[in-house]
Chain A
Amino acid sequence: AQKVTQAQTEISVVEKEDVTLDCVYETRDTTYYLFWYKQPPSGELVFLIRRNSFDEQNEISGRYSWNFQKSTSSFNFTITASQVVDSAVYFCALSESTGGFKTIFGAGTRLFVKA
């Protein structure tokens, strides 16, 4: 069965600190897709990144970077030099190729960035 665990419920940092949000997943499929979404205080979830199971390359986009490691079933998200605007709930999610496009979301990590 597929499962996504975000063990960190809440994280609080001071602006300009780096922060890593952890995500661990479980799946029996060999082909699957991992995602990160951001839900700011306004409430609308925003898609950030997709990674497929065959692509373990890390990705960097500005201050955001993602580390995908199949050996540890992890897909961690790092924000460098955090800013107050990064305050949000972040969700990690998993979709299996055999799952009919259903996506399982983790419980989310609430990030507070203080000025």
Chain B
Amino acid sequence: DVKVTQSSRYLVKRTGEKVFLECVQDMDHENMFWYRQDPGLGLRLIYFSYDVKMKEKGDIPEGYSVSREKKERFSLILESASTNQTSMYLCASGGTGPLREQYFGPGTRLTVT
């Protein structure tokens, strides 16, 4: 079974703090993704990575950065957390070619106060 794990299920941070969300997959997938999910807005892509050290902006990259130093690990960084970044963050990994379905982690519910 594909396993995607995220470092925390729940996180509470203060405005202005630097926040790291970690994601690890065990399927040797090339592609990894970070989404945020908000009520009424569905899943929105923040960043994705198709290889180690490679990254591409998604639809809402502002206020976020990412790091992929190893194939299995993809980190999302909030440089200076703000209250409008309170959300559910979902990490996913996926293969290439036709086998591009994504496997998701359990999510991290981040609250910024």
Q: Hey, what's the 0/1 contact readout for A76-115 against B, CB within 8 Å counting as 1?
A: 0000000000000001000100001111011110000000
| Best-buried of B88, B92, B102, B103 by chain A (most CB within 10 Å) | B102
Say yes or no: A100-B100 contact (C-beta < 8 A), given A44-B105, A105-B43.
no
Q: Is the interface of B mostly helix, strand, loop or mixed?
A: strand
CB <8 Å contact, B31 and A101: yes
Q: Is A52 an interface residue when CB atoms closer than 8 A count as contact?
A: yes
Nearest-neighbour CB distance to chain B for A66, whole angstroms, equals 14
Q: Hey, what's the 0/1 contact readout for A24-51 against B, CB within 8 Å counting as 1?
A: 0000000001010100001111110010
Nearest-neighbour CB distance to chain A for B22, whole angstroms, equals 17
Say yes or no: A101-B96 contact (C-beta < 8 A), given A43-B106, A44-B106, A107-B42.
yes
Q: Is B74 an interface residue when CB atoms closer than 8 A count as contact?
A: no
CB < 8 Å A-B pair total: 52
The one of A43, A45, A46, A101 that contacts B50, using a Cβ cutoff of 8 Å? A101
Q: Is B104 an interface residue when CB atoms closer than 8 A count as contact?
A: yes
CB neighbors of A among B27-60 (8 A): 31, 33, 40, 42-43, 45, 48, 50, 56, 58
C-alpha gap A110/B98 in the complex (Å): 28
Report A-chain residues with C-beta under 8 Å of the C-beta of B17: none
Q: Is B23 an interface residue when CB atoms closer than 8 A count as contact?
A: no
Count class of interface residues, chain A? 20 to 34
Report A-chain residues with C-beta under 8 Å of the C-beta of B98: 33, 50, 52
CB <8 Å contact, B104 and A44: yes
Report B-chain residues with C-beta under 8 Å of the C-beta of A103: 33, 45, 94, 100, 102
The one of B50, B58, B96, B103 that contacts A47, using a Cβ cutoff of 8 Å? B103
Chain A: CB-nearest residue to B99: A50
Q: Is B101 an interface residue when CB atoms closer than 8 A count as contact?
A: yes
CB <8 Å contact, A100 and B90: no
Nearest-neighbour CB distance to chain B for A86, whole angstroms, equals 19
CB <8 Å contact, B50 and A108: no
Q: 6 shortest A-B CB distances, which residue pairs?
A: A45-B104, A105-B43, A107-B42, A47-B101, A44-B106, A50-B101
